Chains A and B, each alone.
Chain A
Amino acid sequence: MALDPGLVGRSYPPSAVYEVGRAKIAEFAAALGDPDPVYRDPAAARALGHPDVIAPPTFAIVVTLGAAGVVLADPDVELDYSRVVHGEQRFTHHRPIRAGDRLVATTSIDAVRTVGGNDLLTTRVDVATEDGEAVCTAHSMLVARGGA
């Protein structure tokens, strides 16, 4: 089923606050097998000028994936989720996410296209601190593969 182009520009209320913990960053770095001490050791992070441990660049997905769930829960967004794959991902970092951040994510629908029988939905999630400092913008393109 083709997605309604009128969905483009729709935005959703901001998420609840996500508080970034050192242990969660370390867990994510371990899942990537990344031994970099800047993800674990506050002293190593400070040596690079960061106030606390920072998160790997793709850690933002932990925050944005949950936030983008509001789109999938929107009854107007008719996607066959059993056929959805991740098509593209982009992160624009205004500064690294770091331990202690209290983040709020605001999701909107950036683009809707139908190509070759596949529905393409691009969401945009703007991540900022509770105080309004911009941290990261994530664009995710989901592809719902057309049925045979």
Chain B
Amino acid sequence: MRAAVRAADVEVGTELPEQTFVVTRADLVRYAGASGDFNPIHWNERTATGVGLPGVIAHGMLTMGLAGRAVTAWVGDPAALVEYTVRFGRPVVVPDGDTGAEITVRGRVAAVLEGGRARVDLTVTSGGEKVLSLARAVLALT
């Protein structure tokens, strides 16, 4: 049986393990195919700079998905994540090359709600800058 976070285990201030994810251009291509979002700003430098971006950027939904991974890995059963909201603040620029970009996810329980629910607020950064200006997950715990 895997570890699972229970309602009794959390209180305001409980911190999630920090996670860092590396995103390369190859990851963007893979995410484009899996999600169906083939917007060229996520794989074509010419298009990205042509619309005023600093370079190819990660799909916002990929950043949201990676931040969600930090939550579901901690909570145990991904089905516990019943509400998930993000606001995209700043794009994650993914340079060409093997190192890519790093996305770091920190989280803490910001509120304990009724019915075994808890709200986790996430801080998601890349290159030291916040890329999601808001990211919160509501968990239904047992």
Contact = CB atoms under 8 A, between A and B. Distances in A.
Interface string B57-83: 000111011101100110011110111
Contact of B84 (A48, A58, A83, A85): A58
B84 A91 contact: yes
Interface in B71-112: 72-73, 76-79, 81-88, 91
B84 A57 contact: yes
Interface string A72-97: 00000000001101111111110110
A32 B66 contact: yes
A123 to B, nearest CB: 14
B83 A31 contact: no
Contacts of B78: 36, 38-39, 54, 56-57, 96
A38 B76 CA distance: 10
Contacts of A47: 1
B15 interface: no
Interface string B25-37: 0010011011111
Contacts of B36: 62, 65-66
Counting contact residues on chain A (CB < 8 A from B), the size range is: 20 to 34
B51 interface: yes
Contacts of B72: 34, 36, 56-57
Chain A interface mostly helix, strand, loop or mixed? mixed
Given A36-B73, A85-B88, A58 B27 contact: no
B1 A30 contact: no
B83 A93 contact: yes
Contacts of B84: 57-58, 90-91, 93
Contacts of B69: 32-34, 56
A66 B46 CA distance: 26
Given A32-B62, A47-B1, A85-B88, A62 B35 contact: yes
Given A30-B30, A33-B21, A87 B83 contact: no
9 contacts: A32-B62, A32-B68, A54-B78, A54-B79, A58-B64, A58-B65, A66-B36, A90-B86, A93-B84
